[in-house]
Amino acid sequence: MRQIIALGGGGFSMEPENPLLDEYILRQSGKENPKVCYVPTATGDSDICIKWFYDFFEKQKCQPSHLSLFKPPTRDIERFILDKDIIYVGGGNTKNLLALWKEWGLDKILRKAWDQGIVLAGISAGSICWFEEGVTDSYGDKLEPLTCLGFLKGSNCPHYDGEAERRPAYHELLASDKIKPGIAADDGVAIHFIEEEVRRI
C-alpha cells in the first residue's frame, strides 16, 4: 500500500506542543516500533531542525534517524532509506531540495520506497515535493509555481491560512493556468493519500 501524508504546517517543527499530526504519521506504518527517518535537505540539513526532530521522536515509540546529504551516514543511501518504515521530509527551500535529491538519485530511491510501502510524509517543502507542482517561495519573496516529483497528481499549496499571501497567490496561479488544479492545506492540517487518492484530511 502506497501512502503519502502531506502537512500544510504544524508537526514537531512548528507546533512541538501539539503531537497529534506526528503521532498520526507514526501509526500509519502499522509497526509497533517503526523506523522513522527525517530528511532535512530543504533547510540545508539544519542542526537545529535535526535537534527538534530528535527532541520529539526520541520520546515516542519509534526508532528515529536522519539522512543528511551534506554528511551522509553511508555510501549506500538506497539501502539506508529502504530499511525504514517512515520517511519524514522537513520544510525549507523546495527548489534546492529537488536539485540535491536529483543529484544524489534520492528522487528515484524515494519512488522505490513509496512503491515498496514505506510511508512518505512531510511538511511544507516536504509536502509540495510529492506533487506534480507546488506553490513555493524558493525563488525569493514572491510565490511561484515549481515543478516537483509528480508522485501525486496536480498541485499543492501549504500554509494556506498561515501566510497571508498564500491563498490569493494560489488562486491567481490557478485562474491564470500557471499551475495545475490541486489541493491546499492550512497549518495544522494533514492530507493522507493512499494509492494517490485522498483518504483522510
Catalytic residue among 13, 124, 127, 155: 124
Domains in the chain and their CATH numbers? Answer: 3-190 (3.40.50.880)
Going 59 to 64 to 67 to 71, the CA torsion angle's sign is positive
Q: Which of 29, 127, 138, 159 is catalytic?
A: 159
| pTM, full prediction | 0.94
- How far is 45 from 71, CA to CA, in rounded Å? 9
Residue entry with cell 517561495: 137
**pLDDT score recorded for residue 17:** 78
Q: What is residue 94's predicted lDDT score, i.e. its pLDDT?
A: 97
Q: Is 65 one of the catalytic residues?
A: no
| Strand 182-184 relative to strand 86-89, pairing | unpaired
Q: What is the CA radius of gyration of the chain?
A: 16
Q: Using CA atoms of 157, 94, 73, 27 in order, give the dihedral in degrees to the nearest 10.
A: 0
- Give me the count of residues in the chain: 201
**Residue 138 catalytic?**
no
Determine the Cα–Cα distance for residues 192 and 189; give it in Å rounded to an integer: 10
Which residues in the chain land under pLDDT 50? Answer: none
